Amino acid sequence: MMSLPLSVLGVNAATLLNAFALLAACPGAWLLSITRLREQRALAHLAALSEERAVDQPMLFLDIRTLRAQRLAYRLGFACLGLALIASWFSTRL
């Protein structure tokens, strides 16, 4: 199959780079919103468990695995948004 140049298809490099930025931003935003929702649910569950405990018992905290997973998800989400922002800025220079 013969490949056509981009100018024949009516697509320039800036449009392709903006499409890439959009494809990078959407999963990043989704990951951030889902992570925030899961964090709120975990804290609400922890608050409900804390209300049932007696005052003299130790406080409840989120486990380390949950905190690390949330931190990783936040980092990946912000990295995707940062990559999308850089790609979008770069596409304006083309």
| pLDDT, tens digit (0-9, with 9 covering 90-100), for 20-36 | 999 999 999 999 999 99
Burial call 14-32: b when 16+ CB within 10 Å, e when fewer: eeebbebbeebbeebeebb
Average pLDDT over residues 78-85: 97
Sign of CA dihedral 6, 9, 13, 16: negative
Confidence of residue 50 (pLDDT cuts 50, 70, 90): confident
Average pLDDT over residues 14-21: 91
Q: What is the pTM of this model?
A: 0.79
Average pLDDT over residues 6-30: 85
